[in-house]
Chain A
């Protein structure tokens, strides 16, 4: 199960009044280089990206999985977002071009190949060829092991094992699970 069948009830429960999409091909993640969920970008009235990909939680808490903490910072994120909505370009959370450039990196050749592999896996999955889908999902994961969306998508097809697989990778992962949320430009406290 996927797409609207999987996501629809969550939109209904949230009584969503905003535009809701069903991104079965991971188009949005691909365009903005999201590597986990939830992640978000801010875009101004002129179509200019104000802040590139970063964790987009609405709550702040620390969970512990397998003895390993996972901290999320939502309250500060939402406060920053409200500041931008109110103050627009004058908001301190609008990144300068220099700061923006320092936070966005070009995909490496391996990351670009991973993306092409993942898209091939998605196509095979949607065409009913689970074996070839698995082959290219695995290739994408090998080429870019830091992209949790590649793993998460594959695990969603075996929901009974998904939590176990996630926990196993999470415990072994020696990098930050989410990119660090740096709300203010560097140099400002």
Chain B
């Protein structure tokens, strides 16, 4: 095997009490924490749902890009080449109903409103991942020293990505 032409990435599928999560937990009373693409986005202000639905999350429009990469344009909520038309009822003043948007985009949302945490899953409207494209999605995972590693950084080499666990 030509090792210099070959790179193996191994991921340890074990759960660490990550320092970043502890820091987020220590943030004094965020209005909401949104889990999206393995990022935890802390929002210091959210809107009140007019129907008092506890699962519904209204975020500030200006927070939308850092939550899910979309931004509001006249034609709808857009990310790269994708624009999803949004009904008027999905916005209210400075706020945007991101849970209603998720439903429209075929994206599951699991919420624990008492803890003010919303977890967003895969968005169907963005395509089916590997089911629709063979291009490996980029990801960022820390190495043993906590330094971020991006899969895209290995372009130009063959890569074997393996996960294992220590038990």
**A interface residue numbers (CB < 8 A to B):** 2-8, 10-11, 16, 18-34, 37-49, 52, 56, 81-82, 84-86, 88, 97, 100-101, 104-107, 109, 112-113, 115-117, 119-120, 122-129, 132, 136, 139, 149, 152-153, 156-157, 159, 162
Residues of A within 8 A of B142 (CB): 21-22
Shortest distance from the beta carbon of A23 to any chain B beta carbon, whole Å: 4
10 sampled A-B residue pairs with Cβ under 8 A: A5-B16, A19-B143, A20-B144, A29-B11, A32-B130, A33-B130, A34-B163, A37-B165, A41-B161, A48-B134
- Tell me the complex Cα distance, A70–B14, Å: 23
- Tell me the complex Cα distance, A18–B128, Å: 30
Q: Are A49 and B164 in contact (CB under 8 A)?
A: no
Q: Are A28 and B15 in contact (CB under 8 A)?
A: no
Q: Are A2 and B110 in contact (CB under 8 A)?
A: no
Q: Are A11 and B144 in contact (CB under 8 A)?
A: yes
- Tell me the complex Cα distance, A116–B6, Å: 34
Instruction: Indicate whether A45 sits within 8 Å of B12 (C-beta atoms), given known contacts A109-B108, A120-B35.
Output: no
B125 interface hit (Cβ, 8 Å): no
> Count the A-B residue pairs with Cβ separation under 8 angstroms: how many?
244
A18, A29, A86, A149 interface centre (most CB from chain B within 10 Å):
A18
Q: Are B163 and A85 in contact (CB under 8 A)?
A: no
- Tell me the complex Cα distance, A139–B112, Å: 13
- Tell me the complex Cα distance, A3–B162, Å: 16
Residues of A within 8 A of B9 (CB): 18-21
Q: Are A125 and B165 in contact (CB under 8 A)?
A: no
**B interface residue numbers (CB < 8 A to A):** 1-2, 5-18, 21-22, 24-25, 33, 35, 38, 40, 107-110, 112, 115, 117, 119-122, 124, 128-132, 134-137, 139-144, 149, 151-152, 154-167
Instruction: Indicate whether A123 sits within 8 Å of B11 (C-beta atoms), given known contacts A10-B166, A44-B158.
Output: no
Shortest distance from the beta carbon of A47 to any chain B beta carbon, whole Å: 5
- Tell me the complex Cα distance, A6–B139, Å: 22
Interface of A is mostly: helix
| CB-contact partner of B12 in A6, A30, A81, A101, under 8 A | A6
Chain B residue with the shortest CB-CB distance to A101: B131
Q: Are B24 and A127 in contact (CB under 8 A)?
A: yes
| CB-contact partner of A27 in B38, B131, B159, B160, under 8 A | B38
Chain B residue with the shortest CB-CB distance to A30: B38
Shortest distance from the beta carbon of B99 to any chain A beta carbon, whole Å: 12
Residues of B within 8 A of A40 (CB): 160-163
- Tell me the complex Cα distance, A107–B126, Å: 13
Residues of A within 8 A of B109 (CB): 116
Q: Are B121 and A112 in contact (CB under 8 A)?
A: yes
Shortest distance from the beta carbon of A111 to any chain B beta carbon, whole Å: 9
| CB-contact partner of B21 in A33, A107, A123, under 8 A | A123
Q: Are B161 and A123 in contact (CB under 8 A)?
A: no
Instruction: Indicate whether A84 sits within 8 Å of B12 (C-beta atoms), given known contacts A19-B149, A156-B167.
Output: no
Instruction: Indicate whether A47 sits within 8 Å of B135 (C-beta atoms), given known contacts A7-B14, A20-B12.
Output: yes
